[in-house]
Amino acid sequence: MRPEELREAGAACVAAGLEVPVGAPAEAVRGTEVDPGGGAGAAAAALAERWEAAHAQWCADLVAHGEALAAAAVAYVAGDGAAATGLMGAGG
């Protein structure tokens, strides 16, 4: 395991999750023109809300995953350091 690769992947996930505007995908649906009096307008609005919520959750999950990767990198480094110290102590 290469902790630096974990850190880099984690940073990329966090950056991507924070960079994407949460409402952007839903705006395309909200901007759809529909026939007045029909049910499509309400359906489009409901879809936009669900899409926005799902997209926001995806972004939050991506950030959480990136943070978990960074934490794993720290744990690997700490574990390697503890193992090295244990080996040095056993050999001395």
pLDDT in tens, 50-60: 988 998 999 99
pTM here is 0.72
Beta carbons of 68 and 4 less than 8 angstroms apart = no
CA 88 to CA 3: how far, in whole Å?
22
Closest alpha carbon to 16 in 50, 52, 65: 65
pLDDT given for residue 60 in this prediction:
95
CA 50 to CA 23: how far, in whole Å?
11
Return the amino acid letter for 47: L
Q: What is the pLDDT of residues 81-90, one digit of tens each?
A: 666 676 677 6
